[in-house]
Amino acid sequence: MARNITIDIDNLNLKGEGTGEYKGNQITVDFGYPGDRVVARLFGRGKAKAETILKPSSYRSSPPCSAFSICGSCRWQGISYKAQLDFKAERIERIFGIKAPVLPSPRIWYYRNRMDYTVGREAIGMRIYRTYYKVAKARRCLLQSEEGNEIIRRSEIFFKNKKLKPYNLRSHEGFLRYIVVREGKFTGDRLVTVVTSEGEFPLEEYYNEIEDISSNVIWAVNAGMSDVSQGEIRKKIGNSYLNEKISNINFKIPAFSFFQTNSYQAENLVDIAVDKAELDGSEVAADLYSGVGTFSFALARKVDKVFGIEEDVEGVKAAEQNAELNDIKNVRFVSTKAEEGMSDLDEIDVALLDPPRAGVHKKLIKALLESQPEKIIYISCNPVTQAEDIKKLKGYKLEEIIPIDMFPHTPHVENIAVLKRI
């Protein structure tokens, strides 16, 4: 096959990649959008990357980030925000057969409250698209904040001066692995975690470099081979949690616990999900995969009792503290897997589910079918697995879906599904 091909992009696949036909073969074209004619470079079987635009799609708009199409994070920055929302709605329609507009994010730049920057040889930042070892130089990432960018700029200089070496994922040598910056959009609080392999990190000196931006700094060690941005906390200055406020509820979020990454849109997500449950105050609710209590507390204001189930022990401890912090007394948290804990709960009227991308365990589907809550509110960042799970919930009718844009400039879409017992 030729290395460069000229191709018309006529569609997007479910992953949000452009697709077109070339000599009878279906090709996915990264950074190609429907309506484009591009010269694309083939780099694998049926895979190409748009290099030169011969005829631009009418959906295109000029991407403001200088690392666009190098960095893998914002694949849809090349199209207008309206087109992004329309394509997300189209994807939801393909999956569920239901037309539903996608709720736009209140902010489309600087919306993320968490960024996990990889420390690479060339720079600190996001990985280059479709690579595992290389990091893109983005002098000014537009996803988190200028303060986040400044932390990265100063970190690069500090690490260089201290001659601290980045960790190499192939040889498993080197020291610096990740910098995780978390930022409370409604509190102004920040928490910076430097993840390294075994060794000594000069935390006090590092803190001196960034204390005007973040008063909380952690050094954590990931001594294992796996490429994860968390580890054992070895030292800290300030708090080991972030303060954030969503829908008038204060949250303490431990360094490595999950929290919805777009705080601005998280308020809508929580409010809509709870509203759609149409509660009258008498219900018992289960918040499955409850994290630090994001949905539990909003539910607690509207029902008699809430049980939260979450496997992250730190998340559950924080959820308990958060209940106290907000003076919420009708919530109990259990630290276990949702599929194990569900069948031990009292009779429940409403179940709210917010599992990870892989969807729910079949044991949980079974437990839900046995428990028979009147309503199930299923929230997911992966509508494909969500739709598969919903099909298994026999005896429930899908009443409504509300897609929500939590991740502007990416193909990801969050979806709330409202189910009622027939």
Per-residue x/- marks for ligand SAM, 93-132, CB under 6 A? ----------------------------------------
338 scored as a contact of ligand SAM (CB under 6 A) = yes
Angle made by CA atoms 100, 114, 235, in degrees to the nearest 5: 155
Residue 347 to residue 293: CA distance in whole angstroms: 20
Residue 95 or 318: the one with the smaller Cβ distance to ligand SAM is 318
Residue 159 or 378: the one with the smaller Cβ distance to ligand SAM is 378
Per-residue x/- marks for ligand SAM, 252-291, CB under 6 A? ------xxx----------------------------xxx
Name the segment binding ligand SAM (CB under 6 A); options: 8-16, 55-63, 119-127, 350-358: 350-358
Least separation in angstroms between residue 31's CB and ligand SAM is 28
**Hey, what amino acid is at 144?**
Q
Site for ligand SAM in 158-187 (CB under 6 A): none
264 touches 106 (CB < 8 A): yes
Tokens read off for 168: 């190499």
DSSP 3-state of 127 = strand
Residue 83 or 387: the one with the smaller Cβ distance to ligand SAM is 387
Of these, 310, 349, 389, 414, which contacts ligand SAM (CB under 6 A)?
310
Contacts of residue 234, Cβ cutoff 8 Å, sequence gap at least 6: 201, 219, 220, 221
Least separation in angstroms between residue 379's CB and ligand SAM is 7
Give me the catalytic one of 183, 244, 267, 414: 414
Respond yes or no: is residue 381 known to be catalytic. yes
295 scored as a contact of ligand SAM (CB under 6 A) = yes
Residues touching ligand SAM: how many (CB under 6 A)? Answer: 19
396 touches 419 (CB < 8 A): yes
122 touches 135 (CB < 8 A): yes
Tokens read off for 261: 């990454």
Name the segment binding ligand SAM (CB under 6 A); options: 1-9, 34-42, 146-154, 305-313: 305-313
For residue 93, the tally of other CB atoms under 10 A from its CB is 14
311 scored as a contact of ligand SAM (CB under 6 A) = yes
Name the percent of the chain in helix, strand, coil, to the closest 5: 25, 30, 45
Tokens read off for 46: 């049926």
Residue 155 or 260: the one with the smaller Cβ distance to ligand SAM is 260
Name the segment binding ligand SAM (CB under 6 A); options: 8-16, 206-214, 304-312, 404-412: 304-312
Please state the three-class secondary structure of 84-126 as a single string.
HHHHHHHHHHHHHCCCCCCECCCCCCCCECEEEEEECCCCEEC
Residue 30 or 389: the one with the smaller Cβ distance to ligand SAM is 389
C-alpha distance from residue 143 to each of 140, 183, 265, 407 (Å): 9, 12, 14, 10
DSSP 72-88: SS-TTTTB-HHHHHHHH
Respond yes or no: is residue 71 known to be catalytic. no
Give me the catalytic one of 209, 278, 381, 399: 381
Residue 47 or 361: the one with the smaller Cβ distance to ligand SAM is 361
Burial of residue 226 (CB within 10 Å: 0-12, 13-18, 19+) is: exposed
Per-residue x/- marks for ligand SAM, 353-372, CB under 6 A? -xxx----------------
Least separation in angstroms between residue 295's CB and ligand SAM is 5
233 touches 83 (CB < 8 A): no
Name the segment binding ligand SAM (CB under 6 A); options: 6-14, 102-110, 219-227, 351-359: 351-359
Residue 410 to residue 403: CA distance in whole angstroms: 14
* Binding residues for ligand SAM (CB under 6 A): 258-260, 289-291, 294-295, 309-312, 315, 337-339, 354-356
User: Which residues carry out catalysis?
Assistant: 381, 414
